[in-house]
Structure 1
């Protein structure tokens, strides 16, 4: 697996490039598709709409949720296209991180005037991760 920090930096760079190229205000699915394609063009393995299956107390919950992007089997990206992020969006990403047992996620909101104002890094404190 690639260095997770390098993957995250590349993902942020790709998101900024996509946002600058087409601007804010489109559907989330457009940004997800373009971001995934750009990351693949840069050599990353990207899974879109990755099913989240998890177990709890002897029970398995198949395809309980779907994470927008899983990059290089270690970085979860949740794509939004809304006016502004709220706390519930970070909780959504943290839920995916915990259930998928992944260490790091990026919340990317393409709805603002600049991509920089719509980026949030979320760390799963219950996963082994040394930045």
Structure 2
């Protein structure tokens, strides 16, 4: 079986997202989760940059329109943060466009908005240009702060 590309790095980023979800739960706007992810990735020594501009080239020339990625981790994994009821193909397409524009093969779509769940998807663009979803998971996370001690 082939090894997943950037397996350890993705595992570390998802671990940071789980901690953010455990601390904050659901119900906040995307910028709150983004800032929390910035803090958590720094705490875990995950190299990350926030609000990274993605320049789109057409025939070698940069276009005026550009994208802004929420996080760039390890200088090779684009992380898009959402806070909505459920991810859709629109959010997947957004991340795939970011991957195509940068030539980076791996991206994560992390949704903090699903009630009682942290939803995440690992997206991969292959060398042949074929897009595959390697992992699409909904994780039920128990918020330890919500459990009362008897």
TM-score range, shorter chain: 0.7 to 0.9
Q: TM-score, normalised by structure 1?
A: 0.88
Aligned residue number for residue 4 of structure 1: 6
Q: Cα offset for 1:20?
A: 1.2
Q: Determine whether 1:120 maps to 2:106.
A: no
Contact 1:107-1:119 within 8 A present in 2 as well: yes
Report the secondary structure of 2:31's partner residue: helix
Offset at 1:89?
A: 0.3
Q: TM-score, normalised by structure 2?
A: 0.77
Task: Show structure 2 runs of 5+ residues with no match.
Answer: 135-150
- Pick one of 40, 57, 67 that aligns with 1:55: 57
Distance 1:48 1:54 in 2: 18
Give the secondary-structure state (helix, strand or coil) at the position aligned to 1:51. strand
Shift of the alpha carbon at 1:4? 2.2
2:101 corresponds to? 99
Cα pair 1:80 1:111 within 8 Å, conserved: yes
* Structure number with bigger Rg: 2
**Equivalent pair of 2:13/2:46 in contact (CA under 8 Å):** no
Unaligned runs of at least 5 residues, structure 1: none
Higher RCO, 1 or 2 (CA under 8 Å, sep at least 6)?
A: 1
In the alignment, the residues of structure 1 paired with residue 7 and residue 41 of structure 2 have an alpha-carbon distance, to the nearest angstrom, of 15
Name whichever structure is richer in strand by fraction.
2
Provide the alpha-carbon RMSD of the alignment: 1.9
Cα 1:19–1:127 shift into 2, 3 Å: farther
